[in-house]
Structure 1
Amino acid sequence: MGHPFSIFERPFDPALEEVAAELLRLDPYGEHWAEVLRHTYDMIYNGQETGRYRWDQLMKTEKTHFGTLFEINAQRKFGFADGDSTDYRIVDQQVDAKRSQTEGAWMLPPEIIDEIALVATASDQDSVWSLGLIRVTTDVRKESVNRDKKSQLNDFGKRSVRWIWRNAPLRPNVLLQLPQRIVDEIFDHRHGTQRTHRLFRAAEGRVVHRNIVATVSRQLDPQKRVRYNGGSRSALQPEGYLILSGLYHHGIAQALGVPVPLADEYISVRVVPSTDETGALIEGRCWRRARPGETVEEPAPRIGEEPEERDVTSG
């Protein structure tokens, strides 16, 4: 995921470095922290019920609640003990978790003065996240406070964050990658099944998380809208589309030269028969990814489906 990164402008803090070392021991590449943030975004959007997929679609109270969900989800993921006046106790150090949509805008209450803050930020739009540590002393805080006596980091404090991961990749939200007019067209149909078909047409060659399918379909058992027997696999097959599951079709994705989805993701690929026997061998024939604008004259081959596929959930 990301690579450890740090900037030191303050005196060496052994306790803070112990916490940093423990975080790296628990998650050397930041993969689990990235999962926590992705999962928290998906929880707060609640796309299957609301159809929302962007930060600016949330109510103010929901945006505020994101930080609480992030703290809870991180504690569940890593099993941190409760702190006394802080959220966690990590290697016997009091650590308070703070998340902000904007780097440096973390709100720091007076009760964590002289304690360690775990500060995180993320952008679903840009598919990046960062996480670091800072000892919250009076010299790193702004003098101004709000009604709750909370304050933010001053310029010195922002420079003094001990970054562990900086601008590491966040699993993308495909609805934020597509042009807005295309997304509007996807949602501009009364039936969830048709919206799902439009999604896989528009997102050809892009990874689609299962939560996005749920957001677009807004139906019970949204993954049923992907499968054969009435789902997008059968509806788009005559147009040359395969819809690959990361759980069972990663080999086909590799052979077709497209991004390989994870177990809770899909990728749609428009294919044509391969005349030089390169590409993916499916049903006894070789198939390759169709070039942009290339006419598809044969239906896509049928790929296998496994019943366990519907039991995979995001974390």
Structure 2
Amino acid sequence: MDNLYTQPEHIVDAPLDEVVAELKRLDPDGIRWASVVRHTYDVIYNGQETGRYQWDQLMKTEKTHFGTLFEIYGQREFGFADGDETDYRIAGHQVDAKWSQKSGGWMLPPEVFDELALVATGNDHKSIWSLGIIRVTDDVRRSSKNRDAKTQLHAQGASKITWVWRDAPLRPNILLQLPPDTVKKILSSKSGTAKVAQLFREAEGMIVHRNSVSTVAEQLDAQRRVRGGSGGARTLLAPEGYVILSGSYHRDIAAELGVPVPLSDEYISVRVVPTGDGSGTRIGDRNWRRATTEDTITVPAPIVKDKKGRQIES
């Protein structure tokens, strides 16, 4: 992740600079904050129980609750101390955490006036997020307030945000990366396993997070829908040439096949054919390569196993 620290022209504010420096020290590449954002989206969707996977499917109260969860998960990830009246104390300074789905939409209560605010936003469709720090002084906030005495930054005030990360990459939500008609097709399958199998057909060569599997299956044992053996997507898809790789066991295979390498909580499906000449990637007792659109599948794909040769459950 690129260093996206941008410093606007502003008066010297040593506490602000110290907070920014501490955020960068704790998370130089922004990977941990990106994980907080991803986790908050996934928890608020609650896909395993609801089948939801995008912001527009949430109720108004859930959208409002997103900021609270973001604050909680941020504190849990980094172990920030509580502030006196603000959410956090970072580098010894009071900092209030604010999330808005729309950049500039942060609601600022009186307790953050003249204090530092950690303002964050994201877009799951675009797979991006941003996080910055600003001191909420009179000259950056609107004079108008709502009935709770909360206000917002005005346009000029928002330009004073010190962005620590700006439009940084967010781990993709595969159900937002695929065309809507394709997602509809996936979800129209009759059983949880059939839905999971269709997901891996449609998302060949793309990273699929475990949460997306749970959302599609809508079952408590969703990850077992991936397994090999009877009743799993691996077995259903093998005759069609698909192998489903787990980030916990098959990262080397993914790299050798030339596809994105999944993390430990991710999968990737790859359509493969045997090479017959000793080239390619060794899986089981044969060598394989990624199939092209011109290849006809005549040999079932292998059912991948763990490092000890056992058939894996997920």
Distance 2:3 2:292 in 1: 35
2:129 corresponds in structure 1 to: 129
Amino acid corresponding to residue 95 of structure 1 in structure 2? V
Q: Secondary structure at the match of 1:22?
A: helix
Decide whether the 8 Å contact of 1:200 with 1:268 is kept in 2: yes
1:294 corresponds in structure 2 to: 295
| Percent identity between the two aligned chains | 61
Amino acid corresponding to residue 239 of structure 1 in structure 2? E
2:286 corresponds in structure 1 to: 285
Q: Matches of residues 1-315 of structure 1 in structure 2 within 5 Å?
A: 1-229=1-229, 230-275=231-276, 277-305=278-306
Decide whether the 8 Å contact of 1:233 with 1:241 is kept in 2: yes
Residues 278 and 105 of structure 1: CA distance in aligned 2, closer, same or farther (over 3 Å)? farther
Decide whether the 8 Å contact of 2:305 with 2:312 is kept in 1: no
Decide whether the 8 Å contact of 1:3 with 1:168 is kept in 2: no
Point out where structure 2 has 5 or more consecutive residues left out of the alignment. Answer: none
Shift of 1:78: 0.4
For residues 128-150 of structure 1, the C-alpha deviation after alignment (integer angstroms, 9 at most, x for no partner) is 01100000001000122212111
Q: Secondary structure at the match of 1:66?
A: helix
Distance 1:126 1:4 in 2: 17
Segment of structure 1 superposing worse, 143-152 or 59-68 = 143-152
Distance 1:308 1:83 in 2: 50
Q: Aligned pairs, how many?
A: 311
Decide whether the 8 Å contact of 2:226 with 2:313 is kept in 1: no
Segment of structure 1 superposing worse, 262-271 or 188-197 = 188-197
Shift of 1:122: 0.7
For residues 233-255 of structure 1, the C-alpha deviation after alignment (integer angstroms, 9 at most, x for no partner) is 11100100000001110000000
Decide whether the 8 Å contact of 2:178 with 2:203 is kept in 1: yes
TM-score normalised by the chain length of structure 2: 0.96
TM-score normalised by the chain length of structure 1: 0.95
Decide whether the 8 Å contact of 2:196 with 2:217 is kept in 1: yes
Runs of 4+ off more than 4 Å? 306-311
Shift of 1:274: 2.1
Point out where structure 1 has 5 or more consecutive residues left out of the alignment. Answer: none
Decide whether the 8 Å contact of 1:246 with 1:261 is kept in 2: yes
- Cα root mean square deviation, aligned: 1.6
